[in-house]
Amino acid sequence: MFKGLGGIGDMAKMMAAAKDMQAKMAEMQESLAGITVTGEAGAGLVRVEATAKGELTGLEIDPSIFVASEKQVVEDLILAAVKDAQRRAQERAQSEMARITQELGLPADMKLPF
């Protein structure tokens, strides 16, 4: 008589799994804000710190490169360090996302968030 209601239990499991995934995603986003990566250029003459979310948080420039005639070089080094920090932040975020998908038992190539 109630054979068709078996799917309700499955739906409840899916909803619970979706809530768990949502909580894990929120937790991951919060943790990315606390992870710091460092990008550098010019063999460390310019260093940029950023969160794994990509927010730049610091800039360190070796004073030896402050020569007026080298202004373009310094600008290029700063830009290169920023790009390196952004790349590292993106890689770290992808690594954290892969960890979350694995913990949830989802396929490794699944793109989150949807």
Residue 4 has pLDDT above 60, yes or no: no
CATH code for the domain in which residue 26 is found: 3.30.1310.10
Question: 55, 54, 53: which is closest to 28 by C-alpha?
Answer: 53
How far separated are the first and last CA of the chain, in Å rounded? 38
- Please give the average per-residue pLDDT across 16-38, as a whole number: 85
Do the domain assignments include residue 96? yes
Do the domain assignments include residue 57? yes
Dump pLDDT digits (tens) for 56-66: 999 999 999 98
Structure tokens given for 68: 């007026």
> What is the domain count for the chain?
1
Give the domain range for residue 66.
9-103
Do the domain assignments include residue 112? no
pLDDT score recorded for residue 35: 92
Dump pLDDT digits (tens) for 44-83: 999 999 999 889 999 999 999 988 898 999 999 999 999 9
Do the domain assignments include residue 111? no
Q: In what order do the strands lie in the sheet with 36-41?
A: 36-41, 46-51, 56-61
pLDDT score recorded for residue 108: 66
Question: Is 0.85 topped by the overall pTM?
Answer: no
Do the domain assignments include residue 114? no
